[in-house]
Amino acid sequence: SSDSGLMVRFEVKDTGIGIRKEAQSKIFEAFEQADGSTTRRFGGTGLGLAISRQLVERMGGGIGLDSREGKGSTFWFTASFEHAVQPPLDVGGSLFPPTPAGSLSPRLLVVDDHAGTRDSIRHELERLPVRAEFAASAAEALDLLRSSMESDGGGPFVAALVDLQLSDMDGLTFAHEAHSLPGLDKLGIVLLAPLGQRLDPGLLRTVGVAGHLVKPVKQARLGEVVSRLIRGEDLLSESETRTFRREGGPRFAAPEPGTKSLRILLAEDNLVNQRVAQLLLRRLGYPPAEVASNGVEVLKAITVRPFDVILMDCQMPELDGYETTLRIRRAEADGDYGARPAHYVIALTANAMAGDREKCLAAGMDDFLTKPLEEPALVSALTRGVRRLEGAPDPASGSGSEATGVTTKASGPAAEPDLPPVLNEQALDAYRVPGDPSVLGELVGLILRDLPVRTEAIRTAVTRKDSASLKAAAHTLKGSASNLGGLRLAATCAALELAARGPDWELAGRLCARMLEDASAFEAALQPFRG
């Protein structure tokens, strides 16, 4: 180390076959082999180490190795780095508006149970014009939020950075709880998610989260997000897109040739979801799907007749979608279905996190759709299924709106995070069949008949403190409400499902009371559409 810079040495060790001493001097030359015979057992370096040497030398360093045959090798290189000179952050112009004279800087809450992460974020926030306070748990953070509204000392918090995976409460539930506190309905919440954890913007918007940051948090991104959060800007619009109807054009892309002759099995235990999926297939011109209500019925159905595609709900009674798919794949490998092509299994799930997608793929599912189902996404998935069955490669565009040819645009401003609309009437447009107005009324009537059963199941589960039953009942009602635009009821059911995972029965009790109110409002809003 010197005043001008720093020389850093990197080492990589292995316990492999080692390299003969006479070959070590040539190992960094292009295409050299430690064993030059025509019967050699081990490969050479090609261009990799030769290029590495050139790169290291350009950085003012050197490269070499220490190796003993049969013992392994240690490769090392050095590189020279200049001391970084970081320009001061522009806190008075483009990022943060100037704080009026005599006023306090905005108050920011950081919630993370990992001390190292808190220290890292504290260091990054020191250069921003905010007053940051820190909590190591959700309970501590909620206490701070309450006290901020009860005293005049520091003023209320305007924003919070919250770890997604807190030990006492996950970040999504925390957001719901925080927005329930008096005066904090406008609190801007950003979740801190680990690298690789992708969160669905629609889910975040539903539970009142303004956006998310990937850990480890970069200083430049942190400054941008915090400033936008304080200004009340919509952070989700960067990653959220919505399909919309082209003027004079179709609502959805037409299926490709061959898809309309698909033999489809729908595995779904929720009657409302069954009817919704069948209706979408009908609108798109597909033949009616055969229905199975659980995994046991699926396994029985595919032994009786062949199917091309299985729309597989992940959470079904008796045998869920994951285990059912695993059994199907084992049977296919054993030849139990004869010479049939492998079934194309499309997961249907109301969960929208990246971990759920990986879980589906690990079980042997081929594709992944989130509920409520959307026509373009369903067309795209079924088209990919046809290509797989015909042995054709998938296009580079992949899945989603680009694969269906539907134009997308960024979403508009966020709805009030703590109070989603009781009914999104636009969601009902998907169930209006030209020439058959009774279809929508039939679907609305079905959910209205089902609603008292589902709400009573949730109330009973909370009373008995039965977490498994509560998760299942809340999940089912969440799906039904989402399908027909019941955003407020769906959000409350999502929070109930999360509370059941704790379980947090005090929170579940409050949410159950809110769920009953939301269900009553949803029922009243649907009455004009009843057949």
Q: Residue 528 in 3-state DSSP?
A: helix
Q: In the predicted model, what is the mean pLDDT of residues 362-381?
A: 81
Residue range 24-43, pLDDT digits in tens: 777 776 544 444 443 444 44
Residue 395 has pLDDT above 50, yes or no: no
pLDDT digits (tens, 9 = 90+) for 94-131: 556 565 555 678 889 999 998 888 988 998 888 888 89
Contact 385, 495 (CB under 8 A): no
pLDDT 10s digits, 215-257: 878 777 888 888 888 877 777 755 433 322 323 333 334 455 4
pLDDT category of residue 391 using cuts at 50, 70 and 90: low
pLDDT at position 194, please?
A: 76
Per-residue pLDDT, averaged over 166-184, amounts to 84
pLDDT, position 135:
95
Average pLDDT over residues 146-170: 82
**Quick one: average pLDDT of 376-387?**
82
Beta bridge partners of 242: 409
Tens digit of each residue's pLDDT (9 = 90 or more) over 190-226: 998 876 565 666 667 766 788 888 887 877 788 888 8
Give residue 69's Cα distance to chain centre.
48
Average pLDDT of span 375-386: 82
pLDDT at position 382 = 86
Q: Cα separation of 471 and 519, whole Å? A: 17
CB neighbour list of residue 484: distance below 8 Å, 6 or more residues apart: 272, 423, 427, 428, 431, 443, 444, 447, 526
Euclidean distance between CA atoms 395 and 142, whole angstroms: 48
pLDDT digits (tens, 9 = 90+) for 334-369: 778 887 888 999 998 876 555 677 778 778 888 888
Kindly state the tokens that stand for 24: 């070590």
Q: What is the DSSP string of 8-38?
A: EEEEEEE-SS---HHHHTTTTSTT--SS-ST
Cα–Cα nearest to 441, from 352, 529, 374: 529
> What pLDDT, on the 0 to 100 scale, is given for residue 101?
59
Per-residue exposure over 317-345, b if at least 16 CB sit within 10 Å of its own CB, e if not = eebbbbebbebbbeebeeeebeeeeebbb
The partner residues of 66 in beta bridges, in order of sequence, read 74
- pLDDT at 169 (0 to 100): 83
In whole angstroms, what is the distance from residue 526 CA to residue 472 CA?
A: 24
Half-sphere exposure of 158 toward its Cβ, with a 13 Å CA cutoff? 17
Q: Do 261 and 287 contact (CB within 8 A), yes or no?
A: yes
At 259 the pLDDT is 54
Task: List, in sequence order, every beta strand (DSSP E) within 384-443.
Answer: 408-410
Q: What is the dihedral of CA 378, 384, 385, 388, to 10 degrees?
A: 180
Per the CB < 8 A criterion, the answer to whether 160 and 225 are in contact is no
Please check the confidence at residue 393 and state whether its pLDDT lies above 80: no
Q: Please give the Cα distance from 218 to 506 (Å, whole number).
A: 37
Q: At 353, give phi and psi (nearest 5°).
A: -95, 160
d(CA 328, CA 267): 13
What is the SS3 assignment for 531? coil
**Single-letter code of the amino acid located at 285:** G
Residues 270 and 169: their CA atoms lie apart, in Å, by 29
Amino acid 130: pLDDT: 87
Host H or E run for residue 242: strand 241-243
Split at pLDDT 50, 70, 90, the class of 456 is very high
CA angle 181–215–218, rounded 5-degree value: 105
3-class SS string, 99-130:
CCCCCCCCEEEEECCCHHHHHHHHHHHCCCCC
- Dihedral-angle region of residue 523 (phi above 0 means left; psi in -120 to 50 means alpha; beta otherwise): alpha
* Alpha helix segments (H runs only) across 415-502: 438-464, 467-483, 487-501
Share of the chain above pLDDT 90, in %: 16
Say yes or no to pLDDT of 311 above 80.
Answer: yes
Backbone angles phi, psi at 158, to 5 degrees: -105, -15
Q: Report the alpha-carbon distance of residue 272 to residue 292 in Å, rounded.
A: 14
Q: How far is CA 20 from each of CA 65, 77, 191, 352, rounded to the nearest angstrom?
A: 12, 20, 53, 54
Instruction: Provide the pLDDT confidence category of residue 407 given band limits of 50, 70 and 90.
Output: very low
- What is the pLDDT of the chain when averaged over all its residues? 76
Write out the two tokens for 488.
């407020």
For residue 273, pLDDT beyond 70:
yes
Per-residue model confidence (pLDDT) at position 254: 46
* Burial tier of 241 (Cβ tally within 10 Å: 0-12, 13-18, 19+): middle
The residue with tokens 């042995």 is: 391
pLDDT of 491 > 60? The answer is yes
pLDDT above 70 coverage of the chain, percent? 76
> Exposure string (b/e) for 414-426, b if CB count within 10 Å is 16 or more?
beebbebebbbee
Cα separation, 209 vs 201, in Å, equals 9
C-alpha angle 249/250/254, rounded to 5°? 130
State the pLDDT at residue 252: 38
